[in-house]
Structure formats: C-alpha cells, structure tokens
Amino acid sequence: MYVCLCHGISDKKIKKLVIEEGISDIRGIKKCTALGSQCGKCVRPAKEIIDETLSTQFRQAS
C-alpha cells in the first residue's frame, strides 16, 4: 500500500527503514526519502506506521 502517493513510498518501505535502519521518527524517514515534501498528507499515516512497527518490535523483543 502506498502511504505517500506523491513520491510512491509504500508502508513496506517505511517499515523496512524502521527495522533495518533503526529509524524511530518521521524526521528520520524524511531524511531518507522525500516523504511529506509535497502535499504532506502522508505524514500522519506514516507516523502511525512507524509507531505500529516500533511497538510490534518491542512486543517481539520482550
């Protein structure tokens, strides 16, 4: 599923960055991708995906 339609960034790509690059906030994602740099509609859903991925990782680790 595409989160950022303006730049074609998928939820998978965001999850991968969180898991593999250790990114934990929207600022980190913005540094690696163009997410949010056009209309900005994707910022909120992207943040939810980051939080969801982090809490899943936390649950798996504990």
Site for ligand FES, rule CB under 6 A = 4-7, 35-42
Closer Cβ to ligand FES, 30 or 57, answer by number: 30
Looking at beta carbons only, is 37 or 56 nearer to ligand FES?
Answer: 37
Task: Please give the full DSSP string across 11-45, using - where no structure is assigned.
Answer: HHHHHHHHHHH---SHHHHHHHS-TTSSS-TTHHH
| DSSP helix/strand/coil, 9 | strand
9 or 18: whose CB is closer to ligand FES? 9
Nearest approach, Cβ of residue 21 and ligand FES (Å):
19
